[in-house]
Structure 1
């Protein structure tokens, strides 16, 4: 296939634009085929067919032979669905499933599951060893695709209908992020023409997270998806120079602000105080205030952006004047009426509108904040329309977005087609969400909520301890259960306050020796001291996971580490992170559940009683 693509001559195209398009398409196709595992199949299913069996090999790409018969079918094709969902209890018509393990391009192992064997029920309903091995493999600092290990409840979410807002609630390690990205890849396969035209957007919580997931969709052959943070969606023009206290940030992100912005956008529209006299030729026409107010009411309704509705007012006024002039169009002479329209319906600027609504100094004296960006963008959408939209939007860590930010995101998908994933037990932002049912109203879309209940990342001994924080989070979140039953419980290391960071460095060296990808999670107040302590043991702190050097140790605050994972995790001063508040419980819950293999907690006090 690569050889055939290399023989394509873009210069044979009819024009320069087509030549450029062909070059880009061929390059992307070759890169896709050369990506690791592109030609490999990882599964096989057999289904009865007229007295015999038909075998289907499942892989990352669709591959045909010279006669165009399928050799490997794409994992996203409908025929592949039973590979992920069939069990001995419900075989979905399948007789047999085989899972392959590859190493350096060759098959190294395979596992057979006879789905028509009633004695194999417990085995086929569980998690096969190759899947467990893949789940427990050492991390590399980049998220990997999971096409070979997608589980039944995940597959249901991935293949769900596109025409809805789908919210996916899942505890730590349930695969929310991977499922959301694979859903994007599936929808691009299933609705190729529609989404090639309208585009797909992935919204992540921060740049470290976006770097972490950056290779997943390209590894699945999808390179056209835009990935960004929510703030990147906002219109330019708001220079952030300030920050908000949590209380003010919550106020700015509250749903009441949405109603206030909409009301303010319409409040400036008002009829004139006096009748309008319009001299045309030898006659003066009088426009009564009541008639003008009727035009305003007729023009103000509807979904068209407010500033654009003004044109409807002009049309109504022009038509009324034309009737007065016996059908003759004398609009060019109607200066007083045009002036009255501009005064009654002033063209508004979104920054000015929001500036008037917010407390504090106005105009050039205002220090704009991140929360203000979303308010201004919402005002712009109401006044001028949303500048760019997508066919489907994926949002990770959705629980941390304010009502206003969710509306900004929702406006990017006019059809309401989106996938939001998150965990209300990990909601730590000042204006974050604690009930998914509220989110549909914020988005301005209807949809459904799906639950992921099985954890694949965090070992049960660690998850069991972390789950003890859930009753203290102040939200109703069911604990997830892990399929990884082995491993050690969290290890506590007690020290003195004066020796805290030195002990952190010592424990980090110890854990990193066993698990090269080890991260430190600590309150920002001790980051500088930890950086110095790490340098004493010839390590350096990093604020990313992507392309780490051997001596680098990722160092994050609890509220910036969501969605990331490390083989080893060192949590610093859990008694500081959990200050007794629901938010503190959520932050510590986040920190503890980043561990894939080992969790160490360095404390200056007795182990927290809530974790006992």
Structure 2
């Protein structure tokens, strides 16, 4: 079928679909605002249908697959959309939800005349593909029809045409869904079994974050009787990144999934007890130009406190602390009254043994109060009972001071020897790390690197607290610690994780992991699987090939990213005579890109201070520009100046790095990762400037 005939055919089908959607919308009926519980439930169902149909009315589907099921007559056209819909008159599927089993063929099929099959609830279903067609519909208008496979046709180069069309679109300030262009290797991850920890190493621009979000939507569809959205959580690196990805799940019809940062989640778990230091000194030192990088195998404070070595030290100390928590004392409420230590020990060590420490302490205190009331009840003389009540309660208060309240921060202080304890402070902590931590604890503050340990302690002493989770997504996982993942595991009955990142972008190596085995070793072999996404869809061929030349300097051993064949402008590396020429080139670059239709442009600098300087220069020149620094709540698009460590996870139509010289980007793995991150933010245009000698990372 020629393009014109295909377009006419799909236009007719689109009109029929929109009419069907409107008829179903009209038949839903009015809202119910009464108090009848059953009617309220029915109204909620109607509203769910109304919302689904309203979204279908805008963009009903994006693909068509003509599938000839084995044993049936002829090929049936299956239209695939973000949501499903049945024909009202017949009850037959009219639009197939992209998460349905048969829809997997749309993503896994890459051509050829061989039979195909998919796994349905009733078993394996086989057949043949006769047509795979991509459709672009925007606001009820059919914009593009691309046949990526026609049985019996030549099918030369058609499979990538629609993908390249979508990749070539300009970006705004939000990450978007990729339902219409999910690739086979991405679909394999999305549809992986639930009860597993997936670890995904993804090249820059491989779509790993978007894949993880689509996986959430799939799990809610596939395991709807086992998982709930409000028992899922996404951990992202910062609040600006959360804002950037916030639109994807609603586009997929998913709500109530919590999206947060580990810091915010940890502080909420710990409550008002913990006060976080205002600045991250280790992070600031790490990203300074004078950063002293640790030797191979040398502990940084962040990596040590996030390690399983530190966790085992904590665990051993807590066991000893619990063993000696109960003082070896009898309780005597008055002369002649006596509650022996052996009874207290029986209650605490035997009866309350199944409970975590904080609950054991609370139960012992409650029992002591009950025991005292019972003993007072045995005294017949009211006057004598009153006297002994006053004495007994006073002595009980004194006795309970020897049973201090158990909190994570108090235990952490005792662990480091800052606070008196029945057992000695832990030994074996590197001296510098111990001294730095004690100094902060004496001031009443902790740092971000302490949060995982504090939360782990909290979980050990309050094990019953906190709702269990069905699935956890951990983004930018190369920057987290094994102890964080171990903590997350304690909130699950069985591991169900999507853990994703890129070791080549591990710019927080002072607190992150250096190899994925640090995380996979936390699970049983049958509970985890490792996946690599090597194809990069973000940037042009020229940008990816340029970034690949930096990759070997990162010392990660990762293979080069594989670009899709989307060619663009060559990467420019320009030497400037001085700061005046550099500033002039920055201004003219922004003007050219905006005039050329680039919707998002970023100037990516090495440090916060350099960002402030460039931003001030641009503002004085009248350029409308945003300054993005740590703590930013939202990314607004347009023209931005951003430090490279804050740009990770974002993407821009055009990127300029203004000072890629030998002083700012040395040949060290840490600097190589920073430059790799900066270069791989660009979708269509990339330019690097330098004054003096260029960075050795540029060859």
Normalised TM-score (structure 2) = 0.75
Q: Does structure 1 residue 11 correspond to structure 2 residue 27?
A: no
User: Which of 113, 126, 137 is residue 102 of structure 1 equivalent to?
Assistant: 137
Q: How far has the Cα of 1:174 moved from its partner?
A: 0.8
Partner of 2:293: none
Q: Summarize the Cα distance change of 1:292–1:37 in structure 2 as closer, same or farther, 3 Å threshold.
A: same
1:389-428 mapped onto 2 (5 Å cutoff): 389-428=468-507
C-alpha change, 1:149 and 1:471, in structure 2 (3 Å) is same
Aligned-residue offset at 1:223: 1.7
Match of 1:507 among 569, 589, 597: 589
In 1, distance between residues paired with 2:153 and 2:400? 78
Residue 566 of structure 1 deviates from its aligned partner by: 0.6
Match of 2:263 in 1: 231
By how many angstroms is 1:213 displaced? 0.9
- Tell whether 2:70 aligns with 1:47: no
Pairing 1:525–2:609 present:
yes
Distance 1:497 1:443 in 2: 54
Instruction: Give runs of aligned pairs for residues 172-571 of structure 1, distance below 5 A.
Output: 172-196=204-228, 199-234=231-266, 235=269, 236-237=271-272, 238-242=274-278, 243-246=280-283, 247-271=300-324, 292=345, 296=349, 305-310=356-361, 346-358=404-416, 359-361=437-439, 365-385=443-463, 386-429=465-508, 430-441=510-521, 446-499=527-580, 500-514=582-596, 515-523=598-606, 524-535=608-619, 536-543=621-628, 548=636, 552-571=638-657
CA contact (8 A) 2:172 2:600 kept: yes
Q: Deviations over 1:261-280 (max 9, x none)?
A: 33343332235676859999
Partner of 2:79: 57
Q: Which whole-Å CA distance do the structure 2 matches of 1:19 and 1:371 have between them?
A: 51
Counterpart of 1:585 in structure 2 is 672
Moved more, 96-105 or 339-348: 339-348
In 2, the alpha carbon distance for the partners of 1:162 and 1:83 equals 21
Q: Distance in 1 between matches of 2:692 and 2:57?
A: 49
CA-to-aligned-CA distance 1:498-544 (integer Å, 9 cap, x gap): 32344323322223332231111112221111112212142222437
Q: Which residue of 2 aligns with 1:79?
A: 102
Q: Which residue does the alignment assign to 2:14?
A: none
Q: Which moved more, 1:560-569 or 1:361-370?
A: 361-370
- In 2 relative to 1, CA 178–275 (structure 1 residues): closer, same or farther, beyond 3 Å? closer
Q: Is contact 2:170–2:653 with CA below 8 Å preserved after alignment?
A: yes
Task: Evaluate the alpha carbon distance shift between residue 23 and residue 211 of structure 1 in structure 2; reply closer, same or farther with a 3 A threshold.
Answer: farther
CA distance in 1, matches of 2:401, 2:565: 68
**Deviation for aligned residue 1:173:** 1.0
Please give the per-residue CA displacement for 1:387-414, whole angstroms capped at 9, x wherever unaligned. Answer: 2342111111111112333334333434
Deviations, residues 89-134 of structure 1 (Å, cap 9, x unaligned): 45513232111122442223322244654954x647xx42111110
Unaligned ranges ≥5, structure 1: 322-328
Residues 276-313 of structure 1, C-alpha deviation per residue, up to 9 Å, x if partnerless? 59999999896669x9599738965x7x5332355798
Distance 1:23 1:224, change over 3 A: farther
Superposition pairs for residues 150-161 of structure 1, below 5 Å? 150-161=182-193
RMSD: 3.7
How far apart, CA to CA, are the structure 1 residues paired with 2:523 and 2:578?
46
Alpha-carbon distance between aligned partners in 1 of 2:137 and 2:229, rounded to the nearest angstrom? 36
User: What corresponds to 1:325 in structure 2?
Assistant: none
Distance 1:58 1:273, change over 3 A: closer
Q: 1:513 to 1:254 in 2, by over 3 A?
A: farther
Indicate how the Cα distance of structure 1 residues 22 and 274 shifts in structure 2: closer, same or farther if over 3 A, else same: same
51-60 or 307-316: which moved more?
307-316
Q: Secondary structure at the match of 1:261?
A: helix
Shift of 1:553: 1.3
Cα distance in 2 for partners of 1:607, 1:221 equals 48
Cα contact 2:322–2:357 (8 A) shared by 1: no
Q: Are the equivalent residues in 1 in contact too, given 2:475–2:499 (CA < 8 A)?
A: yes
Answer yes or no: is the 8 Å Cα contact 1:142–1:545 preserved in 2: no
Q: Deviations over 1:219-272 (max 9, x none)?
A: 111122111111121123222234332543333333333223333433322356
Q: Secondary structure at the match of 1:602?
A: strand
Question: Per the alignment, in what secondary structure is the counterpart of residue 41 of structure 1?
Answer: coil
CA distance in 1, matches of 2:133, 2:77: 10
Secondary structure in structure 2 of the residue aligned to 1:586: helix
CA deviation after TM superposition for structure 1 residue 196, in Å: 2.5
Displacement of 1:338 in angstroms is: 9.5
**In structure 2, do the counterparts of structure 1 residues 250 and 506 end up closer, same or farther at CA, with 3 Å as the change threshold?**
farther
Q: 8 Å contact 1:577–1:588 — kept in the other structure?
A: no
Judging changes above 3 Å, is the alpha-carbon distance between structure 1 residues 118 and 36 closer, same or farther for their aligned structure 2 residues? closer
How much does 1:74 deviate? Answer: 0.2
Instruction: List gaps (5 residues or longer) in structure 2.
Output: 1-20, 117-126, 284-299, 379-391, 417-436
Shift of 1:555: 1.9
How far is the alpha carbon of 1:59 from its aligned partner? 0.8
Q: CA deviation at 1:601?
A: 0.6
